[in-house]
Structure 1
Amino acid sequence: MWLEIIFGLVVYCLSGLFFSGDDDDILDVENLETTDSDALFSVAARLEKLHGGKVYTGLRIPDADTHQLQNIDMVLLTKGGEAVVISVQNLSGFVSVKADGSWVSKSGRNHKTEHHPDPVAEAKRQAAVLKYYIEGRGNTTVPEGYLSCKVICPNPNFCAIHSDYFPPEVVTYEQWIQLKPEWKSMFSGWIKDAFLGGKKEKQESVQKLNFVLSTAPTWDRLELKGNKYLLGEFLDFKGKEEDVQSLKAIKRSKVSRLIVQKTSMFVVVHSKLQVLYCSRDYRNEGASASDWKEVTVRSNAEVLFQLQNSTKSRKFKLSSVVSMSLSA
């Protein structure tokens, strides 16, 4: 009895000694400004629950006019084929709409004032860019007005001043929390009729849309411990030469996703991680068991990642990473 207790304490202490870096990683993650990314994925999850279908998040659609990539927070594609371009405005404080459509927010004790370009106008522009992209890749015609748009404000500290002044495309926090699956009338006006035609034509159109959106350029996605998500661009791996060499096979041209798992806690000589990575399938048929490969590296190996809307790159220990998805 006592031997079992002593053995358990020894194992606990050793695991705490060798894996203590993980807690530090989580603390570093907690200090990151991930609120916007968290809000984005929270909204996406709730929309899928409310509407069914699929939400495509973090899109980067080529804009023929500017020759640049247009960021789109998400596109909701329902089972019935309705599509909505959605912009998430994670603003807090008192928010009002100016005559030109731009927004002003005041937050904090000092009532810090910030000005924001018209998010509805921007969402409509994103819808126009996406329409042109779908027609080019899907070899189909998208009816005018089919791609509707919404601006969702999910921050509980969002307070709309004169909410009646906000355009109908805006979903304030109060409206957002009231949406429920059984309240169809609350969001039936969000979406437009699907492509015209019979059942077969409609089904083919939905399949084309799913294919185009699922293969469209996106930001890379980093999932961290604590249910935190980051959008940005994967740059490289850092660490011991042996570990970096083992991870050389993980390139975006060949790999679409990786998952990080901790090896047995009884391996106390070195803290090790198993990295499972999936070969990229350009046919979009999903990965089979044979597509997954595995390498073992030290837990202090790092991922070099540049966050969306940032010019600086950050390092994250693999021990703090749950998974990473790479755009083609």
Structure 2
Amino acid sequence: MWIQILCGLVFYRLIKRFFYDDDTYEIESSDTDAKFIVANRLEKVYGGKVYLGLRIPDADSGTRQNIDMVLVTKREVVVISVKNYSGFVGIDADGTWVCTGDRTRKTERYPDPVAETKRQISILEAYLEQRGVTFPEGYLSGRVILPNPNFRMIHSTNFSSEVIPFDQWIQLKPEPRNMFSGWIKDAFRGGKKETQDGINEKLHFILSTAPMWDRMVLKDNKNLLGEFLQFKGKQEDMQALKYIKRSKVSRLIIQKSAMFGLGNSKLQVLYSPRDYQLEGASASEWKEVTVKSHTEVLFQPQGSDKVRKIKLSSVVSVSLSA
């Protein structure tokens, strides 16, 4: 009997891995989780606002440029790239970053993140100018943050000052207002004057309405950035969910429904109608539909060419970009 159970478990894990590709899914989630952690900490330390997962239109290429996050304070705007690299990393003669795994000897090569961030600054600056906001030269800066504790530099002097490795990242601490010290001042503050309140307010409005990736929060505090595609399930559930489209809905929250009896497992889907004039919705404006728990969501993570089928019962919330 135990042999049959063991064989069944092995077969289940093989089938699950074949269809759901758990390893890749975990990588996608851990990379996004790292961005959320960085964003939350930056807001606590600097008291500014972080805009996460932006997709800024690039007029030159006719495409959208992915920007991990933009930190906005009264003193400056910082474009931040988060690289969750693990292992020993060095820089090749052409600027390419060469990463050798800390547990395996597998070597991977990545385009220079600093050069990428500088290009993102240029694209963001042009986008803001098109929407009526200009800044003094050098007001926009960039940083590459490496928050993985398993990241190790090879020949650290080869890395530019825009790169913030883990040992510096963990030194960030909230400080009293008007008290700046150490690399924090050099990395982010720069001694720049505060912008006028009107310009700052307009900047926040532009970034809050800029194109961005959809955000999915899963159980166990996992996060995904990407594109919500559609629901998948029984016909009656699809009929109940037909109103939930990005053009009409900005956010949805999944809750268990108090149902009893076999086959009556249900989920409550609370959704907030999109308001293009007001940000968010009050509790009284939330609407609700009930669907079966085996309903799924089709979601394509950022940077992946594979569409994920995720059980709606595993989802906490989804934020849909306009």
TM-score past 0.5 threshold: yes
Give the counterpart letter for 2:318 in structure 1. M
Q: TM-score normalised to the size of structure 2?
A: 0.87
Report the counterpart of residue 146 of structure 1 in structure 2: 139
1:167 is aligned to 160
> What amino acid is aligned across from residue 184 of structure 1 in structure 2?
F
User: 8 Å contact 1:256–1:278 — kept in the other structure?
Assistant: yes
1:40 aligns with 2:27: no
* Equivalent in 37, 41, 63 of residue 58 of structure 2: 63
Equivalent position amino acid for 2:64 in 1: L
Shift of 1:143: 2.0
Query: Are residue 255 (structure 1) and residue 249 (structure 2) matched?
Result: yes
Match of 1:184 in 2: 180
Report deviation, 1:112: 1.2
Secondary structure of the corresponding residue to residue 296 of structure 1: strand
Q: Do the aligned partners of 1:83 and 1:192 also contact (CA within 8 Å) in 2?
A: no
Corresponding residue for residue 126 of structure 2: 132
Runs of at least 4 residues off by over 6 Å: 193-196
Task: Tell me, yes or no, if the aligned pair for 1:304 and 1:314 is still in contact at 8 Å.
Answer: yes
Q: CA deviation at 1:125?
A: 0.5
Deviation string, structure 1 residues 113-167 (Cα, Å, up to 9, x no partner)? 1111110010010011001111112x12222211100000001110111212210
User: Given that residues 195 and 202 in structure 1 are in contact (C-alpha distance below 8 angstroms), is that contact kept between their aligned partners in structure 2?
Assistant: no
Query: How far apart are the structure 2 equivalents of 1:267 and 1:148?
Result: 58
- RMSD over aligned Cα, in angstroms? 2.1
Tell me the amino acid that sits aligned with residue 161 of structure 2.
P
Measured in 2, the distance between the counterparts of 1:211 and 1:250 equals 25
Aligned residues of 1:146 and 1:192 also touching (Cα < 8 A): no
Q: Which residue of 2 aligns with 1:52?
A: 47
Q: CA deviation at 1:192?
A: 5.4
Q: Distance in 1 between matches of 2:188 and 2:199?
A: 16
Give the whole-Å Cα distance in 1 for the aligned partners of 2:43 and 2:49. 6
Measured in 2, the distance between the counterparts of 1:149 and 1:30 equals: 33
Amino acid at match of 2:136: P
For 1:217, give the aligned amino acid.
Answer: P
Structure-to-structure mapping, 1:228-243, within 5 angstroms: 228-243=222-237
CA distance in 2 between partners of 1:127 and 1:194 (Å): 19
One-letter code of the match for 1:155?
N
1:21-50: CA deviation from partner (whole Å, max 9, x where unpaired) = xxx9xxx79752222111111111111111
CA contact (8 A) 1:84 1:191 kept: yes
2:264 aligned residue: 270
Aligned-partner SS, 1:276: strand
Name 2:117's counterpart in structure 1: 123
Q: Cα deviation per residue 1:285-305 (whole Å; 9 max; x = unaligned)?
A: 331234311001111111111
Rounded to whole Å, the distance in 2 between the matches of 1:174 and 1:109 is: 20
CA contact (8 A) 1:220 1:327 kept: yes
The 1:246/1:46 distance shift into structure 2, 3 A limit, reads: same
Deviation of 1:95 after TM superposition, in Å, equals: 0.7
Q: What amino acid maps onto 2:309 in structure 1?
A: K
- Determine the C-alpha separation between the residues in 2 that align with 1:135 and 1:282: 22
Q: Name the structure 2 match of 1:21.
A: none
Q: Give a deviation string over 1:88-133, Cα, whole Å, max 9, x none.
A: 0111111112233221111144421111111001001001100111
Determine what percentage of the aligned residue pairs are the same residue.
61
How high is the TM-score relative to the length of structure 1?
0.85
Q: Is the 8 A contact 2:86 2:102 kept in 1?
A: no
